[in-house]
Homo-oligomer: A and B are copies of this chain.
């Protein structure tokens, strides 16, 4: 099993602190760290309740062995966006309570972004909040979803409309856990890691272009460098804006049109990361026109995105996209508050991009 091979060979993991409004998370990044999970997960009582994605069972074998004897509950769940409901979160909390959950016990959420969002939210509301730990098993979860303290569930009215800011005590990021992730999920999730480089870390963006092949080959060292860089960017931004009132908006680079094409595909045609890739392509067009981004810089970004792809074609139809964009909560009379990129590594917010500019960009955006 690939996830086992290097478990003994792990070096010291890297720690990145994510401060978020009083609470703080420690993200630990290292090859084989799941096989030493007991040294890094936290629980006031020493007891854990594990909620783990069924599809990551193989990747999580080292975690289960490491926590053997400390689990008051070991429960699998389906890591699907359709299952990210309030009812599902309540069911998890009820199972934990039926298993004897006390206020000093801790949850472990293991899986993709859905698992960490859902289980983290259950931890936020069970007994008015218990400690939890995140073990992301997807590139999207490691680079983005599990970092920053946002937890939540979807409503028929929209995604993530109910939730809580409830940061995990520890986040364990093991590149080896990605060994069995399906290729499409692996590549789509990398878009969020690249996004972090482009908005705030020019050196990481350079390294990314150099190491794209190694990252795509899932070489642990290259992967670890990219993930650690992305987490460092997100940790810095989140720590300066834990409640999502200002700078945290920068993380939405690519998400304005990305969300629209994702919604237009019924949240099924495109993976979230694929939609964000298209959203970044559109943001590049607007950044060239409104923020002075050099065409050569845009080309560098497109080249990386094209190597992560090919991604499925999105809906570009104005009559479909326009009503979705108009409902965006960042719309005001001045236009749409949008993240633009004057240069690689230095994104900024433009409070009033006309909706028409986004629709024009959707028509011409490209990934190569």
Contact = CB atoms under 8 A, between A and B. Distances in A.
Interface string A122-133: 001111110000
A315 interface: no
A127 B126 CA distance: 18
A267 interface: no
Contacts of A329: 102-103
12 contacts: A86-B90, A94-B156, A94-B157, A97-B155, A97-B157, A97-B158, A125-B125, A126-B161, A128-B152, A128-B162, A129-B164, A129-B165
A127 B165 contact: no
Which 10 pairs show the lowest CB-CB distances between chains A and B?
A128-B163, A125-B162, A86-B90, A22-B22, A97-B157, A128-B165, A128-B164, A97-B161, A93-B162, A94-B155
A21 interface: yes
A98 interface: yes
A272 interface: no
Nearest to A153: B125
A161 B22 contact: no
A98 B157 contact: yes
Contacts of A161: 93, 97, 126-127
A255 interface: no
Interface string A96-137: 011000110000000000000000000011111100000000
Nearest to A151: B128
A162 B98 CA distance: 13
A150 interface: yes
Contacts of A98: 157
Interface string A277-306: 000000000000000000000000000000
A313 B329 CA distance: 55
Contacts of A127: 161, 163
Contacts of A156: 94
A329 B104 CA distance: 12
A127 B124 CA distance: 14
Contact of A150 (B126, B128, B162): B128
A90 B162 contact: yes
Contacts of A162: 90, 93, 125-126, 128
Interface in A64-116: 86, 90, 93-94, 97-98, 102-103
